[in-house]
Amino acid sequence: MSRRGATLVATFYPFAKGALTATGIQYSTEKVTSTDGYETVEEKTVELPQNAIIEEIEFGLTGGFRSSSTGENVLYKWLIKDHSQSSYDTLVAEQTLTTPGITSLEYSHAGRLSMPGTYFTGTEYQFDIALQVKSGSAGGETAKGKTKNSSYVRIKYHLI
């Protein structure tokens, strides 16, 4: 019989370490897409102690999005993967913002992750979370995205 340690909780605020705005809110550098596919706005690695076993992951993630024109859709999604993997599992499914326009709009997603996935098994002590964005149509228009510093990841884990 193996002995499990006490449950520990760690909260990380890995995103948006950029300059403060005039209102005191901090965002990442805005990503402006240059292709028709998804592009990464920001990707961060969360690291626990090497002997940690994840029990639960809670998240609260906020991104700001806009388009280069008032008639262009913007698509985005939040992703997660074990640090050693090259592909992602979906954390927040693809969202379509119908013509958000040129003023940035914020969208938040919160919940608890059901594990495991294909590329995120929850068995590694390091994992990556990323926000990706793309334009809703091919050619000519761009999508813009940024992460907000209030985005968090809270992990319940125990040590072996």
Structural domain spans, the chain: 27-50+60-148
Which range among 7-11, 25-29, 121-125, 138-142 has the greatest average pLDDT?
Answer: 7-11
Q: Which residues pair with 62 in a beta bridge?
A: 108
- pLDDT for residue 18 is more than 80: no
Question: Which H/E stretch holds residue 77?
Answer: strand 74-82
Q: Are 140 and 55 spatial neighbours (Cβ–Cβ below 8 Å)?
A: no
What is the reported pTM? Answer: 0.91
Question: What class has domain 27-50+60-148?
Answer: mainly beta
- pLDDT for residue 3 is more than 70: no
- pLDDT for residue 127 is more than 80: yes
Q: Who's near 105: CB < 8 A, 6+ residues apart? A: 64, 65, 66, 97
Neighbours of 156 (CB within 10 A): 14
- pLDDT for residue 97 is more than 80: yes
